[in-house]
Amino acid sequence: MLALMRQVTQDVILPRFQNLAEGEVFDKGGNDPVTVADREAEAALREGLAKLNPGIGFVGEEAAHAEPAILDRLDGPCWIVDPVDGTRNFAAGQAPFGIIVALADGGEAHSGWIFDCLSGRFCAAHLGKGAFVDGEQISARATGEEPPVAAISMIFMDDAKRAAMLDTIAPHYRLVDIPYCAAEQYPRLALGVNDVSVFERTLAWDHAAGALWLNEAGGKAARPDGSPYRANERGRTGLIGAASPDLWDDLAGRLAAFPA
C-alpha cells in the first residue's frame, strides 16, 4: 500500500501542487472544492487497488459524488478512498493534504492507511493488530495540557449549533484551528498535538481509516452516543475523537448536555 500511495503522490499529486492551471479547480457545491489532481489520483488508486484485490468494490470520493449509487457498495467488502484529503489546502498551495484508503466490509473498517503527501508520514492500522507510524507501533498520547487541547470542526454546523458548541465546549478546552484535513487531524489526536476533536460531517472516505487507526492506537473514536463509527451509516452526523477513552468520556458527557 505504501508503494502505491507514494507512486500516486509522486506521479499525479505533487506535479499539480502549487501548479494548478486556471480551470483545474472546481466547486462541487457547498464550498467543497475538487481539482484535476483529485480525479486523476482517484483513477490511479483505483487501478492500483484493483491489482491488489480485484474482487471487491471501490468507493472513491469523486466517483461517489458523480454517481451517488456507488455508496451502496459500502454495505459490502470495498476499498474506501479519499484521493486528496485536504483539497481545500491543496488547491490553495499549502499543507496539509494526504491520501486516505480503508478496506472495509459491512461498514466496518478492517484496515486503514493514511499518507501525508509532503512529509511522507505513513499511518497504518489493522483491526485488532495495533496502529503504526512509519512501521513503528504507537500508543496514543495526550498533550498533557490543562485545559486539554480541542480541535472542533464547525464548518458544516449551522450558526446556532456553532454558537452553542462554543458556549458549551470552549470554557473547558483550549481551542485550536482545525487543519481542514482528516489525514492530519487523526495523527494529531494520537501524537500529542491535540487531545480531542469533534467532527460534524462524517463521510466514509474522511473517517473510516482514521477512526480505526485512532482506536487501534488506544485512543477513542466513536459516535457521541458511544456507538462505533461505521462507514455505511449514510447521512449520519457527529463523531468524537480523543487521545484517550477518559478524554473521550469527558467531552461526550459535555456534549450530552448540549442544547438541542
Secondary structure percentages of the chain, helix, strand, coil, to 5: 40, 25, 35
State pLDDT tens for residues 202-217.
999 999 999 999 999 9
Can you give the CATH number for the domain in which 212 is found? Answer: 3.40.190.80
Domain extent at residue 34? 2-138
pLDDT of 13 over the 60 cut: yes
Write the CATH number for 53: 3.30.540.10
Structural domain includes residue 144: no
The radius of gyration computed from the CA coordinates of the chain, to the nearest angstrom, equals: 17
Q: Domain total for the chain? A: 2
Statement to judge: residues 134 and 6 lie in one domain:
yes
Percent of the chain at pLDDT > 90 equals 83
Shared domain for 123 and 178, answered yes or no, is no
Instruction: Please identify, among 95, 118, 138, the residue that sits at the C-terminal boundary of a domain.
Output: 138
124, three cell numbers? 497504518
How does pLDDT run across 92-119, given as a tens digit for each residue? 999 999 999 999 999 999 999 999 999 9
Helices (H), ranges, the chain: 2-8, 36-52, 61-66, 87-91, 159-169, 182-190, 204-216, 245-256
Give the global pTM: 0.95
Q: Band of the pLDDT at 30, cuts 50, 70, 90?
A: low
Same-domain pairing of 100 and 158: no
Cα 148 to Cα 112: distance, rounded to the nearest angstrom = 27
Position 259 confidence tier, pLDDT thresholds 50, 70, 90: low
Residue 158 has pLDDT above 80, yes or no: no
Q: How confident is the model over 44-71, as a mean pLDDT? A: 95
pLDDT band at 258 (very low <50, low <70, confident <90, very high): low
